[in-house]
């Protein structure tokens, strides 16, 4: 892990940057991204495998307390593989299987991973985002062929973490350490402007990504979602999320940092600004329309990322598209 190029107080100051100071921050972040990733963006295709979750996060419409109101679904392995074929046809070699924390879906996921590997002749990164599982479950998924895993720590403020997620930060960190130990390429991530969060704790979030030694980290501005305890809270600032991205890039230039759909939801053009701030991953949604309507991660009016949108913002940023950086030869297949 590279040594942070910003001190704690410099990160704190950079989070407030606006105007020309913010432009300088972004320019340095882009310079480092382009140096480490040769002016290219990694493209992922996501399939949302279930909308059921046993956790009760205060900011999420798929929380446990909403399960009885939501139209629940679990994809079968055949359905997952069918969507994976579309990702393959689109020339994308990173398949993200994402869902609520619902171990019931794991059997289908395991079966699907084997079929996906076969479909790609082994040259595919299978990236999972399925929540906190036991070390044995992580190990089984790894043996089934999963390459990488996203488990966002969400907030490094231990008291706030427990308050909004009903689980301890330490248990989340333990899962992250298990994943790293099992040889996964690991992603964490955090929410900026989560109600009750202090700005100093965002500095901690950034530094925690470095301390953990993860390979990926995302930043999502808080988005108040309907039917959640935080529905009436104000939306997170796009500028703060972008400045956090830029700080991550400057501190840890080799990180994969997505420009997430929540940035676009915060403001039209938000994902393009994510690239301007140094992000280098975009994810296209391949979930079937019927399931996508039921996957309520930010409520019903979330921004769904499609190929055309991605091609447009990548082109406008003067960047190219590349494949996975985690496949054996590190070259990735151009999309």
What are the phi and psi torsion angles at 207 (to 5°)?
-70, -30
Is the separation of the CB atoms in 108 and 62 below 8 Å?
no
What is the smallest separation between the CB atom of 134 and ligand SF4, expressed in angstroms? Answer: 16
Return d(Cα 176, Cα 170) in angstroms, integer.
Answer: 10
Residue 53 within binding range of ligand SF4, rule CB under 6 A:
yes
Residue 77 CB, shortest distance to ligand SF4, in Å, is 21
Rounded to the nearest 5 degrees, what angle is found at the Cα of 209, between the Cα atoms of 161 and 271?
Answer: 90
Neighbours of 328 (CB within 10 A): 8
For residues 240-279, which are near ligand SF4 according to CB under 6 A?
none
Span interacting with ligand SF4, options 15-23, 58-66, 87-95, 156-164, rule CB under 6 A: 58-66
Q: How far is the CB of 55 from ligand SF4 (least distance, A)?
A: 4
Contact flag: residue 57 with ligand SF4 (CB under 6 A): yes
Cα angle value 299/302/303 (rounded, 5°) = 175
Q: For residues 7 and 168, which CB has a smaller minimum distance to ligand SF4 in the complex?
A: 168
In this structure, are residues 221 and 191 in contact, taking their beta carbons and an 8 Å threshold? yes
Residue from 30, 63, 83, 273 binding ligand SF4 (CB under 6 A): 63
Interface residue with ligand SF4, options 45, 131, 195, 332 (CB under 6 A): 131
Among 1, 5, 13, 55, binds ligand SF4 (CB under 6 A): 55
60 near ligand SF4 (CB under 6 A): yes
CB of 99 to ligand SF4, least distance (A): 8
User: For residue 209, how many other CB atoms are within 10 A of its CB?
Assistant: 28
3-state secondary structure of 129: strand
* Given 80, 83, 84, 100, the residue binding ligand SF4 (CB under 6 A): 100
106 binds ligand SF4 (CB under 6 A): no
Other Cβ atoms closer than 10 A to 132? 18
Residue 62 interacts with ligand SF4 (CB under 6 A)? yes
CA-CA distance, 191 to 296, in Å (whole number)? 17
Q: What does the alpha-carbon distance between residue 56 and residue 25 come to, in Å, rounded to a whole number?
A: 36
Q: Note the residues at the interface with ligand SF4 (CB under 6 A).
A: 53, 55, 57, 60, 62-63, 100-101, 131
């Amino acid at each position: 892990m590279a040594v942070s190029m910003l001190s704690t107080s410099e990160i704190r100051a950079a989070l407030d940057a606006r105007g020309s100071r913010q432009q300088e921050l972004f320019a340095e972040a882009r310079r480092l991204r382009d140096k480490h990733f040769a002016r290219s963006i990694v493209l992922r295709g996501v399939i949302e495998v279930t909308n059921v979750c046993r956790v009760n996060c205060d900011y999420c419409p798929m929380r446990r307390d909403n399960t009885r109101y939501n139209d629940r679904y679990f994809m079968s392995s055949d359905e997952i593989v069918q969507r994976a074929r579309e990702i393959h046809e689109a020339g994308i070699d990173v398949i993200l299987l994402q869902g609520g924390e619902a171990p019931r879906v794991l059997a289908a996921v395991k079966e699907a991973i084997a079929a996906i590997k076969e479909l790609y002749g082994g040259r595919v990164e299978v990236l999972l985002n399925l929540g906190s599982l036991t070390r044995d479950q992580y190990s089984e998924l790894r043996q089934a062929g999963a390459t990488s895993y996203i488990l966002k720590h969400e907030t490094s403020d231990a008291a706030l973490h427990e308050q909004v997620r009903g689980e301890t930060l330490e248990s989340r960190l333990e899962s992250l350490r298990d994943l790293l130990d099992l040889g996964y390429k690991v992603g964490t991530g955090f929410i900026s402007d989560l109600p009750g969060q202090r700005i100093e704790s965002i500095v901690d979030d950034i530094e925690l990504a470095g301390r953990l030694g993860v390979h990926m980290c995302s930043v999502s501005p808080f988005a108040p979602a309907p039917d959640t305890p935080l529905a009436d809270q104000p939306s997170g600032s796009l500028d703060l999320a972008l400045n956090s991205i830029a700080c991550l890039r400057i501190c840890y230039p080799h990180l994969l940092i997505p420009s997430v759909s929540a940035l676009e939801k915060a403001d039209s053009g938000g994902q393009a600004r994510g690239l301007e701030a140094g992000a280098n991953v975009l994810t296209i949604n391949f979930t079937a329309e019927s399931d996508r309507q039921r996957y309520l991660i930010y409520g019903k009016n979330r921004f769904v990322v499609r190929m055309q949108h991605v091609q447009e913002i990548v082109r406008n940023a003067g960047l190219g598209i590349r494949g996975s950086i985690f496949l054996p030869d590190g070259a990735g297949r151009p999309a």
